[in-house]
Structure 1
Amino acid sequence: MKRVVLYIIYVSGLAWMITGMSSCANIIAPTGGPKDTLAPVLDTVRSFPKMEQLNYKGNVVLTFNEWIKTEKLKQDLIITPRVQNYSHKVVKKRLIITFLQPLDSNTTYNLDFRNTIQDITEGNATPVRLAFSTGSQLDTMQINGKVTELLSNAPGKATLLALYKEDDTLNVAEDPPYYLTQTDDAGYFNFKNIKANRYRLYAVKDANNNKYYTKGEMIGFVPGIIDLNQGNRDSLQIDLVKEDYEPPRLNSKVPKKHLVELNFNEGIREIKLDSGQTNFQDKIQYNIAPNGRKVILYNKQSLDSIRVRVIAIDSVDNRLSEEVTLQFNNKPIKDKDRAAFGVKIAPTNGIGVEDNQLELEFLFPKPVKNLDASKLKYLIDADTVNFQPLIVDSTTKLQWNEYRTKLTLTRSIQFKNAIKVISDTAAFISVIDDSTTLVQQPIQRIDPTSVGLVNIKVETSTPNFVIQLLDQEFELIKEQDNSEVTGNQFRFNNLPPGTYTIRVIIDENNNGRWDPSDFKKEKLAEKIFFYDNPVQLRANWEQNITVKF
């Protein structure tokens, strides 16, 4: 028998009744119509506690004007002071937060739901914030400010701000804080309804979302104690840096034919080896590989083994000192087992020759034992016959680096457009008797109409600083220490057209490099300033800029 199905449709507040004949009835979501772009609206009458309600110690019930869902609520909901144990559930239009432990007495709680509450159809989020007190009055103190990534000057968006009581045993490297909040996209933060007390404040780029600092994350802090008994703290500036205060670690020693590779967990700036023997350099030659994580030691006297102290220093002067025994494999090296021994030739400025002053770098993968100067030559412009010696004792300056893996050659040469530098076969012999192959490298004269110049005048009372020029990718292009110039006048020439950023590093300890912070010692990073405006440079342009700090 057919069933009569009754449909009730509500339109503009009027009920319309439609009858029809059907064998069965299906519930179908309405289709068509404009896309829902409206976020759920909180029904303040049916929600509790009320905003800034006093003497409230129950659970939180939020009622909205439409069905809702939650998205990453356990991860993104911020409750301060910290509440570890709570549960939540959604029932149609209602979100219920149940506290599984008693709330602190006489305390103001803040709940910031951020984008966790959304409508069930389109996921439109509603940013609900709620404050209530378990006592007879609200806590009213505030802390606000801005977080910036120090090296890039970028806003520290989505950064955790962690506030710890001075007398608390909680640690930013081990425990979530008592109060926490998060920065907006511009890096600004604001703690509200804080109890008057004494606190320590940290900023953490909380990549793993554990609500405290983990090694490798960026961190910043306000040195000393923030005493809210003395009033609110406004406009704080916190700089984020990635700290590194642990020494390098030697991961492995790998013996190969006539050499040993030392592999480290990070890049090494400097390496020292000491066996206690005066003729050690005659026995072992070593260098840092281009990736910085590997040190290669070459056995020059067919030693079976030797005990040495390894001193490895990273980019921020952390130092490893460890005694190791090096075991060598002294089997003869077959030609097929030899690593390539080539030479790369390039102008030191990466562009070309200026004003007939040739300055070249010869780069090698292994230390060089011998150089045959007669096998280094050059040709001028289109000449293909008249080879001339590159090294002339009276006019050529040669300088090796510490590991004999880089040779800098400086001399003057008269030419019009270009020269071709030739390193003939066996011009260089490595420490294990490899010889370089033929290399012919064209070097162009710099066309002054194709590059630009930036002159920077610095006005400051700071005694030690470095001026850096960064490209659009924020890569370091050039830098100068103020001890290298006269009258704080800096000149950066032969720059390709583009957009540049001027960064100033305050070298407080005058060690020639930037030093990061150490939050455990409350030691701030060395200050960094940025020139406000990007420097636009075109070909054949000269920019004159004054920087004040």
Structure 2
Amino acid sequence: MIRLLKHLSVLSYLAGTLFLLNSCANMASPTGGLYDETPPRLIRSNPKNNALNVSRNIVEIEFDENIKVEKPTEKVIITPPQINMPVIKAVGKKAVVEFNDELLPNTTYTIDFTDAIVDNNEGNPLENFSLSFSTGDQLDTLAVSGKVLSAENLEPAQGIYVGMHTNFDDTAFVKTPFERISRTDSRGRFTVRGLAPGRYKIFALDDKNRDYKYDNPQEAIAFLDSIVVPSSMPAVRQDTVFKDSLTIDSIITVNYTRFLPDDLLLRSFTSDFQRKYLQKSERNQREKLIVYFAAPTSEPVFELLSPLPERSDWYVMEKSKGNDTLMLWIVDSLVLRQDTITLKMDYLKTDSLNLDQVQTDTLSFTFREPKQSRKEKEEKEKKEKVEVRFLAINHNIRSAHEIYLPVQLEFEQPVIDFDSSKVRLMQVVDSVSSPIPFTVTGDTLNPRKYSLRHKWEPGGKYSLAIDSAAIHSIYGLWNNKVEQVFTVKTLDQYGNLMIHLSGLPEGKPAYVELLDKSDKPFRKVRVKNSEALIFDINPGVLYIRLFIDDNEDGEWTTGDYEQGRQPEMVYYYPAAYEIRAYTDHEESWNVTELPLDKQKPLDITKNKPEERRRRSLNEERQQQQNQRGSSPFSGGSGGGSGVTTPTPRRGVPSL
């Protein structure tokens, strides 16, 4: 009996050891497998795709697995457009669309899901899925496609509607909903489906109120001047067949129907129309009245009602470009002392018909001194007696001054006079300062700003001196002494750029702009004899844009649908450009060599396309498994238990 128990004990020990070894091997073995990257597969639909004489207002589409419909109100496009949004939902393995509008007779309906249908677990999208049916005995199958770009900066216009009209009247776009529609994806691409043979006008519309017509001048739009005639032709393409998500099986030739045109390009813009109205008025300082308008406008007319001024020029005006912000600096002492000032103002206000009408308002400006205790008042009076307050001056001078920049001065308050004889600009050579000539010009909008100009010598050393009490403000403040020494940068700290241009329209002016990494222009030069020469550029990476100045105002001008005017053309140099110090750069640029949608560098494109990395996750997993090698133990040779936690299988989100 004892011998038997010993044998059983040995057998139990051996069995336990084998179990542990087997367990270790199983735990180290990769068990996750490849991710499921297969999108849902269509099983059936009611009505069937391309069905005729359909009368039911519910569409049911069944797939081989449970699905979700992502962002149906954004991604699912139904044409003809629906006044009342249909109910679009997922029920298990089915996508269900229930129309709330009555189906139109003899009409082709297209439900374009784009990539809204995804499987319930991993979120794999079914790309470019659409279903069509007709309420009559004929199905319209033609389609047109293309891209929409922002006219000003060639950004892909995401989520903008593209619609078609067979009515060529100019008012159709304004008064009538689109007949057929689509919507752009992240790359600005669109396809309008279900078109009948015929002639169409095509438009893009950032539809704010979803009525599918241009009834708000603040909506971004695009239109083609030419007529679109859809057609089709047989074509051939090469398709790649995969054994799995990683392995190519074969490349096959596929015959298909190509729908034309498939390269339409629409340039979207917002008109320069802006609703004009008074936003607010305020008096946050005793000496200054501020009026804010919602948009650039004509300069309003003011009349002081209370108190009555002693002089007609009772204020000095400071204004922004476009007059949307106005500051009235009060110079009449009687008016200045009043806590409440009443003005009558005549200005432009946009009415409900989008017409500008003269509006007359009475504005009241009140200023109350902040409440102070007796002690605070005494301390303030004592401080004012001891301290002398000077007129503050800001300037743009730096120790290393840009060779192309004038000296800019901005005073705290408008000044009575800027006498250049009270300002000295000296050039320092071998420690000897010599006065040099300069010009002073006042800003046309801001009475507090002045520019001091001189043709700087590269590497030259200068000093600017303004004597104390030399400049007097309208409120009696005098400036303190200003002394500033600066050195202008040398030419070897800059690069120069000559651009030889081709592809430009003849006889039209053009401007080249240098852009920073945020796509903002910082230098501009006019094209002369098909060349743009820019001197004194700071070293670094920049980008280049060109616009055709049709109206010769020196600025890019947007379009206007009522006038039938397209926005001015814009082109981008298709790569970053690096400027090196002390180098003359020369570049040739054919602005039309690349299509517009291929020009803007991705580095400065803000609306970057959504990229899907379908196979990358499986590639990463396959690489991890290959790195483990053939050994069943992840610990390799040597010490350690060789036991690792297996990677759990997990769902892959939609990327």
- Of 368-377 and 58-67, the range deviating more from structure 2: 368-377
- Point out the structure with the larger strand share: 1
Name which of structure 1's ranges 297-306 and 533-542 shifts more when overlaid on structure 2: 297-306
Q: Is the 8 A contact 2:459 2:487 kept in 1?
A: no
In 2, the alpha carbon distance for the partners of 1:416 and 1:197 equals 69
Equivalent runs, 1:378-393 vs 2, <5 Å? none
Q: Which amino acid counterpart does residue 252 of structure 1 have in structure 2?
A: K
Tell whether 2:287 aligns with 1:258: yes
Distance 2:361 2:321 in 1: 23
Match of 1:14 in 2: none
Q: Which residue of 2 aligns with 1:477?
A: 522
Alignment counterpart, residue 462 of structure 2, candidates 407, 419, 436? 419
Mean CA deviation greater in 320-329 or 536-545: 320-329
Question: Alignment partner of 2:472: what SS?
Answer: strand
Deviations 1:223-277 (A, max 9, x none): 47656699954532211123231354222333452332111224x488475779x
Once the two structures are superposed, the pairs formed by residues 345-384 of structure 1 within 5 Å of their partners are 345-346=395-396, 352=401, 354=403, 359-371=406-418, 373=420, 376-377=423-424
The Cα offsets for residues 111-151 of structure 1, whole Å up to 9 and x where unpaired, read as 11123222222222223221222333321332222211122
Secondary structure in 1 matching 2:273: coil
In structure 2, do the counterparts of structure 1 residues 413 and 42 end up closer, same or farther at CA, with 3 Å as the change threshold?
closer
The partner residue of 2:222 within 179, 197, 220 is 220
* Partner residue in 1 for 2:110: 110
Q: Is residue 60 from structure 1 mapped to residue 59 from structure 2 by the alignment?
A: yes
- Matched residue SS, 1:428: coil
| Cα separation, 2, equivalents of 1:518 and 1:493 | 36
Q: Is the 8 A contact 1:285 1:431 kept in 2?
A: no
Distance 1:499 1:232 in 2: 40
- 1:505 and 2:547 correspond: yes
Asked which structure has the greater CA Rg, the reply is: 2
CA distance 1:251–1:64, shift in 2 (3 Å): same
Give 3-state SS (helix, strand or coil) of 1:449's partner.
helix
Which of the numbers 529, 536, 550 marks the counterpart of 1:494?
536
**Aligned counterpart, 1:7:** none
List alignment gaps of at least 5 residues for structure 2: 1-30, 233-258, 305-309, 336-340, 350-354, 371-379, 592-655
What is the TM-score normalised by the length of structure 2?
A: 0.64
The answer to whether structure 1 residue 145 and structure 2 residue 153 are counterparts is no
Contact 2:158/2:184 (8 A) holds in 1: yes
Provide the aligned C-alpha RMSD in A: 4.4
Change (3 A) 1:33 1:345: same
More helix by share: 2
Q: Which amino acid aligns with 2:292?
A: N
Q: Are residues 1:244 and 2:291 paired? A: no
Per the alignment, do residues 238 and 347 of structure 1 end up closer, same or farther by CA in structure 2, a change over 3 Å counting? farther
Pair 78,423 (structure 1): closer, same or farther in 2 beyond 3 Å: same
**Shift of residue 175 of structure 1?**
7.6
Partners of 2:73 and 2:455 lie apart in 1 by 69
| Aligned: 1:297 with 2:325 | no
The C-alpha deviation readout for 1:285-332, integer Å capped at 9, x for no partner, is 1112599742111222345666565589xxxxx988655667677999
Report the Cα distance in structure 1 between the residues aligned to 2:441 and 2:91, rounded to whole angstroms: 77
Distance 1:523 1:36 in 2: 53
Q: Is the 8 A contact 1:40 1:68 kept in 2?
A: no
Provide the C-alpha distance between the structure 2 equivalents of 1:545 and 1:441, rounded to a whole number of angstroms. 39
Flag the 1:153–1:412 CA change in 2: closer, same or farther, 3 A. closer
Structural mapping, 1:179-218, within 5 Å = 179-197=180-198, 199-205=200-206, 216-218=218-220
Aligned to 2:80: 81
SS of 1:369 mapped into structure 2: coil
CA contact (8 A) 1:143 1:234 kept: yes
What code does the residue aligned with 1:544 have?
A: E
> Structure 1 residues 92 and 517 mapped into 2: Cα distance closer, same or farther (>3 Å)?
same
3-state SS of 1:544 partner:
strand
Pair 286,310 (structure 1): closer, same or farther in 2 beyond 3 Å = farther
1:276-291, aligned counterparts within 5 Å?
282-288=313-319
Alignment check: 8 A CA contact 1:258 1:330 kept: no
Alignment partners' CA distance in 1, 2:410 and 2:356: 27
Question: 1:405 aligned to 2:452?
Answer: no
Do the aligned partners of 2:40 and 2:125 also contact (CA within 8 Å) in 1? Answer: no
Counterpart of 2:586 in structure 1 is: 544
Q: Percent identity?
A: 22
Label 1:167 to 1:513 Cα distance change in 2 as closer, same or farther (>3 A). Answer: closer
Aligned-pair CA distance for 1:399? 1.4
Question: For 1:6-42, what per-residue CA distance to the aligned partner results, in whole angstroms no more than 9, with x for missing partners?
Answer: xxxxxxxxxxxxxxxxxxxxxxxxxx84474334432
Q: State the TM-score, normalized to the length of structure 1.
A: 0.75
SS class of match (2:263): strand
The within-5 A match list for 1:86-105 is 86-105=86-105
